[in-house]
Structure 1
Amino acid sequence: MIATTERVPAPNAILKAWTPFKELIGVTSVRTEAEYVKAIALIHDLLDEVGDDEAHPLAEVLDLIATQVKAYEDEHVQIPDAEPREVLRFLIDQNGLKQGDLDDVAPQSRISEILSGARPVSKEIAKRLAKRFHVHAELFL
């Protein structure tokens, strides 16, 4: 047993706080497809609120849910290998976007060059795409 000088809450006190939290959040563990879908929706909402602010009070909740989603994906979701431009094309299609809608990432001409295979995705654009679509930048590199 690890010794600590800090007071550790009693299990019944944790349960008293956890139950309303879990009911409010709707999903705190991801074991089924339905929980996965709920967790992804929650992550998108939290990302809209938290953004890149790691000091935001909800950042820890985002980390908790993202960890659960990652564990589920590692076990249940296979992401096929795809070229970065195909990943980008897929995300554009899935989100009902046009190339011009990504002007916050890069000029439309650059997006067009990437999609046509004339230009690779730079690290900077990969970071912007990852932020825009809430995915890992490695998908584009």
Structure 2
Amino acid sequence: MNTLTDDIDAHALEAAWGELDRVARLRPIHDEDSYDHAVALMNRVLDVMGDNEQHPLAGLLELLATLVGNYEQKHYSLI
């Protein structure tokens, strides 16, 4: 039985994650420092993408927006 995880090259994933971590330090947001970093990274990605919704970084932007949005909803709720 072939599953999705069978198609993932764990060594290639580790190498790619290591490079992304070195460049972007993408992490879950647990505090103000990591929030500030994620917002700055998101803004930089937006600067690079411009109006191009098909840009190769579009998935990263969506991921960052989700992380930032979740943190803001939890910590900056206007109730």
User: Is TM-score (shorter-chain normalized) higher than 0.5?
Assistant: yes
The equivalent of 1:17 in structure 2 is 16
Q: Compared with structure 1, are the counterparts of its residues 9 and 74 closer, same or farther at alpha carbon in structure 2 (3 Å cutoff)?
A: same
How far apart in 1 are the matches of 2:78 and 2:47? Answer: 25
Q: 1:17 to 1:53 in 2, by over 3 A?
A: same
2:40 match: 41
Greater shift, 31-40 or 43-52, is seen at 43-52
- Deviation per residue, 1:32-60 (Å, 9 max, x gap): 11010011111111111112311101111
For residue 78 of structure 1, report the CA deviation from its aligned partner. 2.1
**Runs of 4+ residues over 4 Å off in structure 1:** 3-7
Which residue pairs with 1:54 in the alignment? Answer: 53
Q: Which of structures 1 and 2 has the bigger CA Rg?
A: 1
**Aligned residues: percent identity?**
33
- Aligned CA-pair RMSD: 2.3
TM-fit CA distance, 1:76: 1.3
Are 2:64 and 1:65 aligned?
Answer: yes
| Count of aligned positions | 78
Question: Which fold has the larger relative contact order, with Cα–Cα distance below 8 Å and residues 6 or more apart in sequence?
Answer: 2
SS at the partner of 1:35?
helix
Contact 2:20 2:26 in 1 (8 A): no
TM-score by length of 1: 0.47
Partner SS state of residue 55, structure 1: coil
Question: For residues 36 and 5 of structure 1, do their structure 2 counterparts lie closer, same or farther at Cα, with a shift above 3 Å needed?
Answer: closer
Structure 1 alignment gaps of length 5 or more: 81-141
